[in-house]
Amino acid sequence: MSPASPEELRTITISRMLDDHRVVFAGVGAPLVASALARRLHAPHLSVVLEGGIIGVTFRDGSLPVSTNEMRAAFGAPMLTDITDVFLYAQAGFFDYGVLGAAQVDRFGNINSSIIGDHDHPTVRLPGSGGANDIASLCNKLLIVTSHESRRFVEKVDFITSPGWLSGGTTRCDAGLRQGGPAAVVTELAVFDFHPVSKEMRVCALQEGVTIDEVRSRTGFELTTVADVGQVAPPTSVELQTLRKLTGVDAHQ
């Protein structure tokens, strides 16, 4: 079996953070795949919610949904509702985790998926929030998964689409967001958490074979670390095989 690709590594790492019997509000792409993997392995009772109004997504190998509202996503789900309704469950505190990808993320875990450059004269107009802002504002704990490039890991995002810890310290709470906030960021290089007081992102554990200098050289801001930086356990063959069955990538390649 070929080793895990960077994307597979990220997906496996974040799937381990989803505990059984919890409720996860997942964005499409890696967050959804990670939720599917968690259900297949250690969290068979994890409830997966999609913003398209699907509560309790089940997954079929090789047939993962690519959007938040489609029949593949609805198959086997015990409840189909409307979009606004799903987010009102989040606002009422029912969702343990939100999981999001990020086009751009900064040292306080703020995410940009709207605009690169100036708001009134954008260099690139991106698709926008969708439900990402709501997931980041309202879920009890936010997990972020993204590829690690210095253009993505910036000191300050061009536009805060989805709020992290805003400017750090108590600024998130001061802005009126009483719940949630980013707890972890997962990349193919490392896992990050946020300082309990300053709310700055810091290196928590390194992926196998990665050095702290490598992480720093691919990050666009000054990184601190926890006192005792750990090692992320490498993917097991069971994790990799299960993931490849789900995504339809040939497990024997």
Partner 1 sequence: MTDKVMSADEAVAQVHDGDLVAVGGSLFSRTPMALIFALVRSGRSGLTLTRSLTCYEAELLMVSGGVDGLVTSWVGLGLQWGVSPVVRMLVEQGHAFHEEWSHLALGLRFKAGAMGVPFLPTATMMGSDLEARSKAARVTCPYTGQELLAVPALVPDVAFLHVHRADKFGNLQVEGYRHMDVDIARAAKRVVVTAEQIVDTSEIVRNASDTMLPHFTVDAVVHQPFGAYPGECYGLYEADMAHLDSYVQGLRDRGPQAGVEHYLRENVTTRATFDDFLQHVGRDRLAALQQQAMEMTT
Contact set with partner 1 (CB under 8 A): 28-29, 51-54, 66-72, 74-75, 80-84, 87-88, 90-91, 114, 119, 121-134, 137-138, 159-163, 166, 171-172, 175-179
Q: How far is the CB of 12 from partner 1 (least distance, A)?
A: 20
Burial readout 210-247 (b: 16 or more C-beta within 10 A, e: otherwise): beeeebeebbbeebebeeeeeebeebeeebbebbbebb
Q: How far is the CB of 237 from partner 1 (least distance, A)?
A: 28
Residue 253: exposure state from Cβ atoms within 10 A (0-12, 13-18, ≥19) = exposed
The sign of the CA dihedral 118, 120, 122, 128 is positive
Question: Looking at beta carbons only, is 1 or 124 nearer to partner 1?
Answer: 124
Q: How far is the CB of 116 from partner 1 (least distance, A)?
A: 10
Residue 82: exposure state from Cβ atoms within 10 A (0-12, 13-18, ≥19) = exposed
Candidate list 8, 51, 188, 239, residue with the active-site label: 51
Question: Looking at beta carbons only, is 82 or 149 nearer to partner 1?
Answer: 82
Catalytic residue check, 200: no
d(CA 154, CA 221): 6
Question: Looking at beta carbons only, is 125 or 151 nearer to partner 1?
Answer: 125
Q: How far is the CB of 194 from partner 1 (least distance, A)?
A: 16
Q: What angle do CA 249, 251, 253 make, to 5 degrees?
A: 90
Question: Looking at beta carbons only, is 6 or 127 nearer to partner 1?
Answer: 127
- Known catalytic residues are 51
